[in-house]
Homo-oligomer: A and B are copies of this chain.
Amino acid sequence: MKRIAILGPGLLGGSIALKLHSLASSHVSLWARRADAIAEVMAAGCAGIATCDLALAVKDADLVVLCVPVGAMGEVARAILPSLRPGTIVTDVGSVKGRVLAGMGAIFSGHARFVGSHPMAGSEQIGFKAARADLFDDATCIITPDPDTDPAALGEVTAFWRQLGCRVVELLASEHDQCVALVSHLPHLLAATLVNTIAAGNAHAFSVVGPGFRDTSRVASGPPAMWAEILRENARAITVAIDALIANLHDFRQMLARPDGARELHDFLAVAKSVRDRIPFPKINNG
């Protein structure tokens, strides 16, 4: 059986542990920074080893999955390096890839085989208490190999995510960062901006909200520290996306104002509907 070390028992790391436990196809060790997180994991019985000792967690691992925030990844990677067996495969769940990959490549080079991953699953909730074995069912996992990526390691990481239930897509790190700037980071900052705009405009409006606003704004309830880090980390691609969105909002404003703008406004909405209706969304409600 494979030995898999999960570093960080949050929503993603915890969900990986729960799913692997249900599959009973690997030995799972889990590292957490805080002792109370260890206690939660032990109570759930989803890891053979749960420890605050990084070296112990990764010692015999075939695969290490970094499930810590993007900003903590470098520190944790450097800390485990001396304890990894040569050739150990390392992957992550980080939402930004450009700088992470460069950093990981430099840290692991010659010691371990790193392959970047980003499972597009999660929710506005955080921590092991929100973890669930079916979080990855039908989700997309983006893997970001580069020319230096070891083909065998790429195969193992691909198989790992498929085993968890994901559909795997390969992208270059730069294309990954542009795509998630558009479909993940921009929606996130828009949701927060929407909430703050309404609060400043007429907070009374929150007392009459319907299901539309609830869903449109859901991700704004996500963890601010984690998201601030992600958004700063991917600032360049996000800025391009914000500028494009602002330009489109200006156009929309003109369509609203022009006496003859009705047709154009209708077509703008019709195009959006037609595009969205063709998107292959994950079928199950793991958000």
Contact = CB atoms under 8 A, between A and B. Distances in A.
Interface string A227-267: 11001100100111111111011101100110001100111
28 contacts: A122-B212, A139-B210, A175-B202, A178-B202, A184-B210, A186-B197, A187-B216, A187-B217, A190-B216, A191-B272, A193-B249, A196-B275, A201-B241, A209-B279, A215-B216, A216-B219, A220-B276, A224-B267, A224-B273, A225-B266, A228-B262, A231-B256, A239-B256, A242-B252, A243-B253, A245-B249, A246-B246, A249-B249
Interface of A: 120-123, 139-140, 142, 169, 171, 175, 178-180, 182-184, 186-225, 227-228, 231-232, 235, 238-246, 248-250, 252-253, 256-257, 261-262, 265-273, 275-277, 279-282, 285-287
A239 B215 contact: no
Copies in the complex: 2
B217 A140 contact: no
A117 B49 CA distance: 59
Nearest to A247: B197
A31 B128 CA distance: 53
A112 B243 CA distance: 51
A180 B198 CA distance: 10
Contact of A269 (B123, B192, B262, B268): B192
B201 A184 contact: no
A250 to B, nearest CB: 7
A244 B200 contact: yes
Given A169-B208, A224-B270, 6 more contacts: A140-B208, A180-B205, A182-B197, A199-B271, A201-B240, A242-B253
